[in-house]
Structure 1
Amino acid sequence: MKMNACVLFLTLLISHVYARDVDFCFADEDDPYLYMATKTAYHFVHAGKTRFQDVPNCRAKQVWMLATHGTRCPSEAETIEMHKLTEFQSQIINNHEVRNNGHMCNRDLENLKRWKPDEYLAIQRAEVLTPQGVEDMKLLARRLQSNFPQLLQPDTEHINYTFKTTDVREGSIGWFIEGLFGNREAVPVDEVSRNDTLLSLYKTCNVWDNDSGNVSVEEVIAFEEGTQFRNLIQNVSRRLGFLYYISKEPILAMYDMCRYEKAWTVTKLSPWCAVFSKEELRVLEYREDLYYYYKAGYGREINAHLGCTLLQDMMNHFWKLEQNEDSNEPNGVFYFDDIISLQNLLTTLNINKDHAQLTAFNYNDMAKRKWRTSFMSSFGANLVAVLYRCDTSDQPNKVMFYLAEKLVMFDGCDVGLCDWEYLKQRFNPVLKQCDLNVCWNGNGVATFAANLVLVLLSCFTLVFVRK
């Protein structure tokens, strides 16, 4: 009797092991894929390295920065979709343990069994900054202060700074200020309106609003109908033990859960990341790159126009300092906005532009693309420009640009160090064409906000035309 019981146990064990032919074991992965498009943790993009450069015989005179909001909780819509994963969690466990159809390894399955919705998935916390987002903002501020101590002093009695944000409730700008000065209330913050034409110009542009969704979504749909995404659907469905192909919606919710949890707690693995192979994560990353390429990047000409007001603001701040070093120009100009505005500005500046256009059909050819939202517009992404006044009369003023604290290599600049005169010549044609004619509707009538911007842009452009 005992012998029969042993044989039965061994038979069940062998059949169970045989049925669990696994694709990989994410829990044992020493080098997990960390680049999750716009939900990438800034911790991985910055990687703990400071790359701000010293410029011999030159002194930093002003720091200008546009940053996106830090790591935060999902939107209400995303939260609702991710709560539905509890149903899939039960089905996946049943597929493996009862039906023996799944192909996840035991450790990954155990991690998934222990998963439950995080406190950050409460509806009332939608889009609220997380502790990791707080830390990223404070550390970014401290690194800037450490590298530009002559401009960013912790003593707030004689401060001279400009701070603007599109959403002061979101909190990123407050924690950034605390990182600089030790007090979130140290300096006043200007919260701009939704129709602000500096930080959120695209929101006032009817043509952009009417066209962006259609073009970007159409290209994504075409990619989803292609080989790479169809293979992803098939492989994930099989891996999770389903005998049919599950729809893309829960798969995208699993991806969101994977990348949000990884961004919230950078030292831990999310059980939902075990759903995907590294190549499948690259496919999902490309899908989102494709979407933003057309929504806010080089996929449409209008996007380059919509970054010109921010470029103009930066150039005018630098120009005023060039004209009068004793002017009341702030030591630092800090703007906090969304990723659309940042991507518009990068497009205007021609940063990270590929020779070939991203499309739904050239995924393999674009493996080494420059347009990667993981590095350009992660949580807490930022573009910093620094103006330097040089000591010697024969050495012109300089400007350096940093994207996510990495030096931007502009054509025509010396290893990222740009002559100010060169930049004025390079961008003057862009600024002269900085108007909102492209935003006029079919009747040739601009919105009130657009008309106001046209007047302001004309005034600003005159400064450069006269130079």
Structure 2
Amino acid sequence: MLSVLTSVVFAVLASRRGCSPADVPDFAAHFGSKTRYEDSRAYRRLLAEPAAVDRSLPRVPSGERCSPVHLTAVVRHGSRYPTVKNIRAMRQLSDLLRTASPSPSPSREDGERSAAWRRDVLRRWDMWYTEDMDGQLVPKGREDLRQLATRLAVSFPSLLGEESLRAGRVRVLTSSKHRCVSSAEAFQEGLHLSANVTLAVRYRHQVDDGLLRSFDSCRGYVEGVEKNRTALAEVYKFKRGTEMEALRKKVADKLGLPHRGLTPDLLEAAFFLCSYELAIKSLHSPWCFLFDREDAKVLEYKCDLKLFWKRAHGHAITLAASCPLFHHVFRSLDKAGRPRRSGDTPPEPASILIGHAETLLPFLGLLDLYKDETPPTADNYQSQHARRFRSSLLVPYAANVVLVLLDCTRGPRLQMLVNEAPVRFPGLPEEDAPLYRDVRAAYRHLLDGCDFHKECEGATGGRGPNTEL
């Protein structure tokens, strides 16, 4: 929390900028995987109306009658506390500000206040994060999942409504991590609220790390990427590159610190403090005044490089490690779409899978989405401003991929939503909801292949770029 003096000073600074402490930084959509869902893309409408839904869903061909029969959603957990690693870096930064001898302020002021004044404000900031928080879900994170569940239930009441809940037919699987289990509970709470079910919530979820953290058991991934520094060579190069070095010196000057004192990791810790204060407390933190939008884009790119080369398209083994989830999703769709006789049990209406950014990114990769023609590297930042692979847009807190199977006149169709927005399948760009058989044919090479055990127990090389699976 801010001390009384710091709060007063910050309020003065905020008033000079024409905003209040509750306002959102103008670069809030550039926090990478630490971006709030409502700040991502067009979802800023949720700031004003958390229950806002797209009333045009599902989108089906004109003149064709369709009804939803099954929904599978792969969902990231909600807003969380920092992990122990981040908390230690934050504490180190806070200690540095309190103990380091200030360097002379630069001769040209950066516009608002002297470095000494700014440093004094941040010295008085209370380092309130503790290691026992370690990535746990925060109250805002529970609300993220409740609101997402409510919106999906409004869009698909026949699948996520009262009848499905009372019958216990909404299946929920979750990663074993505490933040995911708490998110699974919150999602179910949201469904009950939306359906006006007066019964106490009876949580029905199962832990399945084999699906939602399959990368942990993929030896090829763990040895070839996770523990292989050369797999992230582009990240380390950018970390010491021109853009990051210029930003590091700029922020050090703003804090009145010697350049050598503010390491790249501590620079990132300052940026994370801005993002966490916003995500956890809806606070425009004084840490945010160290950065502008162009600075945030540099740090966002560093995050994107790490996620691309560690969790997404960068290495084929990373995508192969997600094959169990890919196969599970399509098996669920296959089962729901099979012809049934009148006496057969109706298909399971919904399957909710709660995981991590590391769960969603390789799944999106297997779907062949958000893959740029030129991959991001340490040397091409300036040409990557229009890149499709932006973690701030793809995997903010509570990010989701929803696949809705529709029973239509011409046969089953499949509608895909990414963060609640319709997205067309690669190779099938003409329709929002193509025939399911066409979608399946587009991914036949993965459905008939994509052998997790073969890929994960084979060679562990993670150095080369991604190749087709």
Q: TM-score, normalised by structure 1?
A: 0.81
Q: Is the CA contact (8 Å cut-off) linking 1:71 and 1:379 kept in structure 2?
A: yes
Match runs of 1:244-283 below 5 Å: 244-245=259-260, 246-266=262-282, 268-283=283-298
Partner SS for 2:434: strand
2:432 counterpart (406, 409, 416) = 416
1:423 to partner: Cα distance: 0.5
Structure 2: tracts of 5 or more residues without a match: 1-12, 47-51, 194-198, 462-469
Deviates more, 1:82-91 or 1:161-170: 82-91
The one-letter code sitting in structure 1 at the alignment partner of 2:185 is: G
SS, match of residue 74 in structure 2: strand
Partner of 2:37: 42
- The partner residue of 1:367 within 385, 393, 409 is 385
Tell me, in whole angstroms, the C-alpha distance in 2 between the residues paired with 1:54 and 1:203: 35
Distance in 1 of aligned mates of 2:365 and 2:348: 26
Aligned-residue offset at 1:379: 1.3
Structure 2 residue aligned with 1:203? 216
Maintained 8 Å contact 1:303/1:347 = no
Q: Does 1:87 align with 2:98?
A: no
User: 1:388 maps to which residue?
Assistant: 406
1:162 CA displacement: 1.0
Q: Distance in 2 between matches of 1:164 and 1:380?
A: 15
Amino acid at match of 1:32: D
- Per the alignment, do residues 169 and 241 of structure 1 end up closer, same or farther by CA in structure 2, a change over 3 Å counting? closer
Paired position in structure 2 for 1:217? 232
Distance 1:27 1:84 in 2: 32
Counterpart mapping for 1:19-30 below 5 A: none
Cα-to-partner distance string for 1:340-376 (whole Å, 9 max, x where unaligned): 1211111000011111111111111110111111111
1:249-289, CA deviations, whole angstroms, 9 ceiling, x for partnerless residues? 221211111111111133x3111111122111101100010
How well do the aligned residues superpose, as a CA RMSD in angstroms?
A: 2.9
Matched, 1:157 2:152: no
Give the superposition deviation at 1:204.
Answer: 1.3
Taking structure 1 as reference, are residues 293 and 204 closer, same or farther at Cα in structure 2, changes over 3 Å only?
Answer: same
Which residue of structure 2 aligns with residue 32 of structure 1? 26
Instruction: Determine the C-alpha separation between the residues in 1 that align with 2:230 and 2:145.
Output: 33
CA drift of 1:215 comes to 3.9
Q: SS of the counterpart of 2:411?
A: coil
The 1-side partners of 2:392 and 2:131 are apart by 26
- Structure 1 residues 59 and 237, CA, compared in 2 at 3 Å: closer, same or farther? same
Matching residue within 128, 136, 159 for 1:128: 136
Distance 2:101 2:17 in 1: 16
Partner residue, 2:86: 78
Candidates 103, 107, 117, aligned match of 2:127: 117
Alignment of 1:403 with 2:418, yes or no, is: yes
Quote the Cα distance in structure 2 between the aligned partners of 1:65 and 1:216: 30
Deviation at 1:409, TM superposition (A): 2.5
Compared with structure 1, are the counterparts of its residues 362 and 240 closer, same or farther at alpha carbon in structure 2 (3 Å cutoff)? same
Question: Is 1:318 aligned with 2:328?
Answer: no
What's the offset of the Cα at 1:113?
5.7
Q: Secondary structure at the match of 2:405?
A: strand
Equivalent residue number for residue 105 of structure 1? 112
The structure-2 alpha-carbon separation of the partners of 1:161 and 1:244, relative to structure 1 and needing over 3 Å to count, comes to closer
Alpha-carbon separation, structure 2, partners of 1:63 and 1:86: 46
Deviation of 1:381 (Å): 1.1
Q: Does 1:143 align with 2:154?
A: no
- 8 Å CA contact retained: 1:38, 1:379: yes
Q: Distance in 1 between matches of 2:314 and 2:328?
A: 24
Match of 2:9? none
Deviation at 1:420, TM superposition (A): 0.7
Contact 2:159–2:349 (Cα < 8 Å) also in 1: yes
Count of matched residue positions in the alignment of Structure 1 and Structure 2: 411
What does residue range 61-72 of structure 1 map to in structure 2 within 5 Å?
61-72=69-80
* Higher alpha-carbon Rg: 1
Q: Is the 8 A contact 2:305 2:376 kept in 1?
A: yes
Aligned to 1:332: 350
Q: 1:181 aligns with which of 175, 192, 197?
A: 192
CA deviations 1:408-445 (Å, max 9, x no partner) are: 1223143432221111111111111121322124599x
Quote how far apart the aligned CAs of 1:38 are: 0.8
Secondary structure (helix, strand or coil) at the match of 2:353 reads strand
The answer to whether the 8 A contact 1:138-1:175 is kept is: yes
- Residue in structure 2 matched with residue 345 of structure 1 by the alignment: 363
Aligned partners of 2:394 and 2:419 also within 8 Å: yes
TM-score, with structure 2 as normaliser? 0.80
SS for the counterpart of 2:334 is helix
Q: What does residue 8 of structure 2 align with?
A: none
Decide whether the 8 Å contact of 1:258 with 1:273 is kept in 2. yes
Whichever residue aligns with residue 192 of structure 2, its letter is: F
Residues 202 and 113 from structure 1, CA distance in 2 versus in 1: closer, same or farther, beyond 3 angstroms? closer
| 1:328 shift after superposition | 4.9
Amino acid at match of 1:190: Q
Q: Is the 8 A contact 1:165 1:173 kept in 2?
A: yes
Partner of 1:191: 207
